[in-house]
Amino acid sequence: MEIRSFGKISKSGKVPPKTMSILKTRLGKEDYQKLIKINNPKLHQFIADYVELCNPDGVFICTDSPEDIRHIREEAIRTGEERRLATDSHTVHFDGYYDQARDEKNTKFLLPKGVDLGSNINAIDKEEGLKEIHSLLKNIMQWRKLYICFFCLGPTNSKFSLPCVQLTDSSYVAHSSDLLYRLGYEEFKRLGGSQAFFKFLHAEGELERGASKNIDKRRIYIDLDEDTVYSVNTQYGGNTIGHKKLAMRLAIHRASKECWLTEHMFLMGIHGPGGRVSYFTGAFPSLCGKTSTSMLKGETIVGDDIVYLRIKGGKMCAVNVEKGIFGVIQGINSKDDSILWKVLHSPGEIIFSNVLVTEDKDVYWVGKDGEVPKKGINHSREWIFGKKDTEGKEIPHSHPNARFTLDMKLLGNVDPELNNPQGVVVSGIIYGGRDPDTWVPVEESFDWVHGVITKGASLESETTAAALGKKKVRKFNPMANLPFLSITIGEYIENHLNFGRALKNPLPIFSVNYFLKDSNGEFMNDVRDKAVWLKWMELRARNEVEAVKTPTGFIPRFQDLKRLFKELLGKDYSKEDYVKQFTLRIPENLSKIERIMRIYEAEVPNTPKVLFEVLGEQKRRLQEAAKKYGSYVSPFKLAEAD
């Protein structure tokens, strides 16, 4: 079916009378008055069309007022989408048993005939997709309330930022968005009739025991031409909180046209000597240490997930798109994550999702301190130790992709520049993933192009529970952004190369690997070691330490790491550890190059030629080193030759 629109906006910008009549009737007097204070005909038309199609039982317009925000929070409890916990202002939400991660298979772009974004991009014919999604949305909200909320991606009143509106029948989704994003009702009023805003429509569909029932009809469709995302028959945040990875796809498409970048990156301040702060961005696939890195004790966090990057005065500047965190909770413990641990155990507005709730209304997750409770309530509902699902698989007490949602104002290490509309100047870029056998713990590229190609465009990572599908499969994921691209991979890489050319002084690009394993399958890095890698990168970005040149980049000198380990962690860093961690593994590096080149040759049309040139040069350097030193080369040998 096609959506019925009630006339067209006139050339003078007026909405058809029929549209305004529908809004008056369906919204009620108070909410209608809230809406028309925003003088935006395109917004009014969008809302009217989908109110009629989805046919909600009632409509609530959420302004930026504390009263409206409180109403959303209370609705989440009233509807049962969230339950109160023992700690003040803590709540828990459960998604359906089979609705626990991003559904990449059913997340598709609506593309007009003749448009092709490449084989790595999941797409459907636009006309066909709209017909399907509109059919699914017909009367889907007839027994529920529709919440219409306004947000701003990035600081308000900023060149970086993008306004957006979300229509959802889920009070949990609306509440989560309030915690994660800057309020945007006043921003919409300020912008008036601007058509440059993103639109999100979410419907959780028929519910069974409080969770979306019709998972077989779960669809997440993205219309790039209309800057619109549709999400239906799902509750999981990654599929429904439209301003996160769904908005990333819209923003990547827009950024490509306007010569800036939208990246799957944290943004943090690394504190160096003399009280200085150097800002770094970092791209890691989910469950690879991105949030824990950005939350490192002694440093300050600007954001943990998505950044917009622009060039100002020849320098790279960045803002955090969000003001909150929707983070993986697995593994958070008092020893390694003291800041988050304290926040998660203190009063304050936090939504836990898909964890175990105990009889005394406390929460427990995988990797939390203490003994695992024997029973409770989790994503499978009533749970006891040893419980199995219908397929005979044992159900863990907490889902591996369980999450927490909070406003960053609860954190004690928030950087004061979080809401700076000008952003912060970036000193370095970091790429990391789950790599058991190839990359050393930290390495700097030779230059911008070498970094974009060998660190970003060549990024691989073992898959995790954040996306549906097989686990522990080495997956190609350039810039940790492949699942969210809305342009071809070739164009995406070219954009990064062009961005570097426009910088007065291109930034250093680093790789990190927290998951390197020895022959026994044991990790070579301690969880806390990342503090040392970050401090070394900060010193390198300031040209204050030397490095050892290898065929793949620059690695730290032993004496610098020995000093940093002692100063930061009170540890004696041994030569044996240095050799184990920073040995150049030539066979594994050559295999990686072969894998990456095959992918680009076979699957990525219009790959920039420089990618093959840079990887080819790296291959030759590795082969020459193998002839000279053998397959595995000690960093001390490389230091002698440097």
| Number of domains comprising the chain | 3
Contact 317, 413 (CB under 8 A): no
My answer on whether 395 and 438 are in the same domain is no
Q: Mark which of 242, 258, 274 sits at the end of a domain.
A: 258
My answer on whether 424 and 548 are in the same domain is yes
Long-range contacts of 341-348 (CB under 8 A, 24+ apart): 342/412, 343/406, 343/410, 343/411, 343/412, 344/404, 345/87, 346/87, 346/410, 347/87, 347/88, 347/89, 347/90, 348/88, 348/89, 348/90, 348/406, 348/410
My answer on whether 595 and 558 are in the same domain is yes
In this structure, is residue 340 part of a structural domain?
yes
In this structure, is residue 90 part of a structural domain?
no
My answer on whether 109 and 148 are in the same domain is yes
Task: Specify the pLDDT at position 9.
Answer: 54
SS3 readout for 364-399: ECCCCCCCCCCEEEECCEEEECCCECCCCCECCCCC
Helix axes 29-36, 41-54, angle to 10 degrees: 150
My answer on whether 401 and 475 are in the same domain is no
Q: Which residues, including other chains, have CB under 8 Å from residue 259's CB and lie 6 or more apart?
A: 495, 498, 499, 502
My answer on whether 337 and 307 are in the same domain is no
Q: In Å, how far are 226, 546, 595, 609, 617 from 622, measured between CA atoms?
A: 48, 22, 15, 20, 9
In this structure, is residue 85 part of a structural domain?
no
Task: Specify the pLDDT at position 470.
Answer: 56
My answer on whether 460 and 546 are in the same domain is yes
Here the CATH number for the domain that contains residue 403 is 2.170.8.10
The DSSP call for residue 527 is G
Q: What are 176-212's pLDDT values in tens digits?
A: 999 999 999 999 999 888 888 999 999 999 999 889 9
Q: Which residues, including other chains, have CB under 8 Å from residue 21's CB and lie 6 or more apart?
A: none
The answer to whether residue 288 is catalytic is yes
What is the enclosing helix (H) or strand (E) of 183? strand 182-183
My answer on whether 213 and 279 are in the same domain is no
Residues 211, 245, 396, CA angle at the centre, nearest 5°? Answer: 45
Task: Specify the pLDDT at position 291.
Answer: 84
> Looking up tokens 């970094």, which residue turns up?
451
My answer on whether 345 and 487 are in the same domain is no
Task: Specify the pLDDT at position 6.
Answer: 43
**Regions of the chain with pLDDT less than 70:** 1-13, 464-472
User: What domain range is 390 assigned to?
Assistant: 326-410
Q: Mark which of 362, 393, 410 sits at the end of a domain.
A: 410
Extract the tokens encoding 31: 């909410």
The DSSP call for residue 102 is B
Q: State how far the Cα of 474 lies from the Cα of 487, in Å rounded to an integer.
A: 23
My answer on whether 296 and 367 are in the same domain is no
Task: Specify the pLDDT at position 121.
Answer: 85
In this structure, is residue 3 part of a structural domain?
no
Tell me the whole-structure pTM to 2 decimals: 0.92
Residues across the chain:
642
- The DSSP-derived string for 552-575 is TEEEE-HHHHHHHHHHHH-----H
My answer on whether 350 and 386 are in the same domain is yes
In this structure, is residue 444 part of a structural domain?
yes
Dihedral pair phi/psi, residue 277, rounded to 5°: -125, 125
Here the CATH number for the domain that contains residue 221 is 3.40.449.10
Q: State how far the Cα of 570 lies from the Cα of 116, in Å rounded to an integer.
A: 54
Q: Mark which of 215, 232, 258 sits at the end of a domain.
A: 258
In this structure, is residue 494 part of a structural domain?
yes
In this structure, is residue 10 part of a structural domain?
no
In this structure, is residue 61 part of a structural domain?
yes
My answer on whether 520 and 591 are in the same domain is yes
What is the enclosing helix (H) or strand (E) of 632? strand 632-633
Q: State how far the Cα of 78 lies from the Cα of 269, in Å rounded to an integer.
A: 40
Q: State how far the Cα of 146 lies from the Cα of 46, in Å rounded to an integer.
A: 14
Q: What are 464-482's pLDDT values in tens digits?
A: 555 555 556 789 999 999 9
Here the CATH number for the domain that contains residue 505 is 3.90.228.20
| Identified catalytic residue from 62, 164, 288, 317 | 288
